[in-house]
Structure formats: structure tokens, C-alpha cells
Structure 1
């Protein structure tokens, strides 16, 4: 190997290593509950010096993948990272497949219909269709919530393999998003068993005060939930319509699951 070849190989090695570290920094922001990070915190998490972290953050800031709050000197995801996330969401096939079922469901129930996907221990809103009425629910596309809070989240948790479900329940104190969030592991196990038995979950103010919802899974050919569809609205409207809303919800999720190869 010539001197030039050794130099080129070394440069490539440093470039790949630097890229991996930069990606590791970005992935830290995907952890549950993380909205901002400091240089020292990133260094501890990744086991690298603050000087290295600062160089990485300077590069990421230059590409608008992260931005810094000049007052606190803490970093948050920047507009370029959010654009990448939205581009990913826009290209998920299930979103296109579910668009018409969501429209039909909202039209039939006169309530908001939503589509969610799972990202590790979080449930993320992917799409929604809202009804033409004055008082209605609207969700924030891209917003993420823990797997025990709300009907859509509980569906994902209910259909996880038992080992993964138990690991989540045993991972530590579960945060309460409202006064009605189920955080007791024993009560949650009973609730999740009921969800699997009847095929859908209900929530009355568990994720958001005043909001009610029903949710059911969209299953793939292996019987795994690739997405969850919900019907949601003000809790006082939803509470008295459980059976009425469950029927079209289960019809739409069953048809969509069949299109994905589920034969149950």
C-alpha cells in the first residue's frame, strides 16, 4: 500500500467513524422524553470527550439538523431533521393504504379518525381525518406518546409479544399524562388482556383530558400490528357510543389487515 493509499484509507476511516458518532448524537434525541441535550450529557451517553461532541454539534448545526438555545446552551432537533422525519412519514405505505379507510370512518362516525405507528416504546400519530363539525378532536401529526397512555397506545402494547410487553411494564414507573392514565402494571395487564379479547381499546381522558377514543390494530400477515386506527372525540360524545363506533372501526381495520395479508 502506498503512502497516498494509507492516507486515503485513514481519512475514510475517520469519516465513517465521525459519521457514526454524528448519527449516534441524532439518535439520542429519539429517546422517550428527550427534547433537548447538553454537550456534557451527550458526551457521557456516548463515552466521548466534550471537544468531540462540540465539533459534531457544530457540524449538525451547520446543516440545520440541530439548533442551539443560546440562553441554556442546550440543543434540540432542527428543521432539517424534522423535514427528514416528515419525508419518512410521507413515504410509509400504510399511510397511503389507510387514507380512504380513515375518510370513510370519519364520515360514518362524524368523529376524527387517526392513524398511528409504533417507534420503539412510543406511539406516533401518522395521519388523521377530521369531521365537518364545530366541536371535534384534532391531533398533532408526528406527536409521540408512551405505549400505556390512550387507546391507540394500549393497542400496540396489548399486541406486543408477551416478553416485550412485560419488559415495558417492568421498565420503571410509568408516567401519568393525566389523572386517568393507567400506570399500575397489574391493572394494565388486565386491560391489555381485555383489548386482545375484544379486538379494540377504549380511553376516556387517559392521554388527554376531555378526550375519548376507541382504537383497533391493523395487522400484517404475521398477526403483528403495523399500525393502529382510532376514532376520537370529546369524551362525553364517545362514552355513550362505544358499540356504535366499534362496529365500523373493526370493519375498516379488518379490511385493511386483510390487504396486508392477515388471515385471522
Structure 2
């Protein structure tokens, strides 16, 4: 475990004080409860207020309550919990239809994290686990999620990053990856052929929230012994249907073309 940063620890201690009582505190109360110097408390409160983690009460000078940023973080956490639970249910339904392994994943920087997974019913199947992290450029879910980023954000995430391969088929050239992502945007689905596992191919589709933002991707993974062009087309339709079903559970409504 790495070294804890004292300043960050103190700031979090301040925020956690607001979980108790009536949810409002003054600087002297924080000083007394945390046994910190008054100057330190003043700096912490000023910094947290400047970043909208706290807000000064206009009708009670010198008192603070939690700010909008804490609400935003809590809401994002709740969304992730809902996404994981709903994703597991939809993944189960898709797996029951196709008999293959189904994942739901989110993007974190240049990696994907699997938040839901249902195993194939076949004896030969992909070995993985919820919570696993993989390089986004090596997976179908990762390509799908990278492809939905605005160009500027994609540049920020990829510029200066080495694309490490997981198999001989992994994309390690940034220019090639960008070309592939352009194709993903055009098709609306992403493919991965033995790029994260030499014996597995996958197809993925985007999952959207109520605001229409892509928040995850749903994929179907198949061992190469059961993979074919026809099977790929069939699973692409199932992945899109599954992703749409999960999107609907998250409150997204598709607009008619």
C-alpha cells in the first residue's frame, strides 16, 4: 500500500464530519472535532468551497454544508451501482439466448473494467471475471467505448501512450487503432478477433444512459472453435439488442429514424 497524503486525508476527514448531525458545521466546530490548527482548517474549508465540495450558508455566516460536487460524485456512484445490477440481469438474458459469455464493461482512462459477466453454458468457454481490467484497445468493449469519445478527449487519452499488445493480433499502432475506431463509429458495433485472448473473438455494442451518453458496452465472447462470419453477424445483432435493452433499463429511449 502506498503512502497516504496527509493533506488529502485531512480534507476527507472534514467532508466526513458533514455526514453527522444536521449537516452544517462552522470552522471552530471543525477545528475542535478534528483537533487541527485553525489556520489549517480555514485553508481546507476555503479550498473545498472553491471546488464546490462545500458551500457557505448565506443566512448563517461562517457555517458550511456539503456542496453540489459531492452530490455529483454520489450520483455517479449510484449510476454505476445501477449499471452493474441492471447489466448483470441483461447479460444473463443475452447469455441465455446465445449460450456464450456476455460482459458489460466501462471505460476508465485507457482501460476497460468489467462490471458484469455471465458465463457460457458450453464446456469450452472464455475464462474471465467481473472486476477485471484490460487495455481498451485490445477488446471489443474497449474499442466501442473509445470510438464514442469526442476526438479531443480521445487524443488526450491516447497521445503519448504506448499500446501494449496482449496477443500477436493486438493493435499496437496508434494510426491503425484510429482507423479501426472510425469503422466502429460507422458500424455501431466493435469486433475483436483474438486480440486479448488468442482463442477468443468478441463483438460489442454501446450502452447509453437516459441522457444518451455512452456509459458502457456489452459484448459477447466466443471461442474460435465456434466462431464464423455467420455467427459473428448473428451475435452482432444480439449484442446490439442486449445493449439497447440495458440502455432502456437506464432510461434511454431511442429516437425513431
Q: Could you tell me how far apart the structure 2 residues matched to 1:215 and 1:196 are?
A: 12
Alignment partners' CA distance in 1, 2:80 and 2:191: 29
Change (3 A) 1:262 1:196: farther
Q: 1:250 aligns with which of 233, 237, 240?
A: 240
CA distance in structure 1 between the partners assigned to 2:137 and 2:218 by the alignment: 16
1:118 and 2:107 correspond: yes
- Aligned with 1:105 (options 90, 94, 108): 94
Instruction: Judge conservation of contact 1:117–1:123 (CA < 8 Å) in 2.
Output: yes
The two structures have a TM-score, normalised by structure 1, of 0.64
Distance 1:155 1:12, change over 3 A: farther
Q: CA deviation at 1:262?
A: 4.5
Deviations 1:140-175 (CA, angstroms, capped at 9, x unpaired): 221111221111111111111111112233223211
Query: Which runs of 5 or more residues in structure 2 are unaligned?
Result: 1-27, 45-76
1:77 equivalent in structure 2: none
Tell me, yes or no, if the aligned pair for 2:104 and 2:115 is still in contact at 8 Å.
yes
Once the 2 structures are TM-superposed, how far is the Cα of residue 188 of structure 1 from its aligned partner? 1.2
Q: 2:167 aligns with which of 154, 178, 199?
A: 178
Aligned pairs for 1:63-142 (under 5 A) are 92-142=81-131
What is the number of equivalent residue pairs in this alignment? 191
1:10 pairs with 2:1: no
Provide the rounded CA distance (Å) in 2 between the counterparts of 1:122 and 1:233: 21
Following TM superposition, by how much is the alpha carbon of 1:230 offset from its aligned partner in structure 2, in angstroms? Answer: 0.5
So what's the TM-score if we normalise by structure 2?
0.66
Tell me whether 1:158 sits opposite 2:147 in the alignment: yes
TM-superposed CA distance for 1:177, in Å, is 1.4
Structure 1 stretches lacking a partner, 5+ long: 18-87
Asked whether the equivalents of residues 109 and 157 of structure 2 are also in contact (C-alpha less than 8 Å), the reply is no
The equivalent residue for 1:263 is 254
Contact kept, 8 Å, 2:112 with 2:135, in 1: the verdict is: yes
| Maintained 8 Å contact 1:152/1:230 | yes
Runs of 4 or more off by more than 6 Å in structure 1? 88-91
Alignment of 1:169 onto 2:158: yes
**CA displacement, residues 203-226 of structure 1 (integer Å, 9 cap, x when unaligned):** 111112211111111012343221
Q: Aligned pair in 2 of structure 1 residues 131, 145: CA closer, same or farther (>3 Å)?
A: closer
CA distance in 1 between counterparts of 2:228 and 2:177 reads 20
Corresponding residue for residue 188 of structure 2: 199
Return the match for 2:214 from 225, 228, 233. Answer: 225
Greater radius of gyration (CA): 2
TM-align CA RMSD: 2.9
Of the three residues 179, 184, 188, the one matched with 1:190 is 179
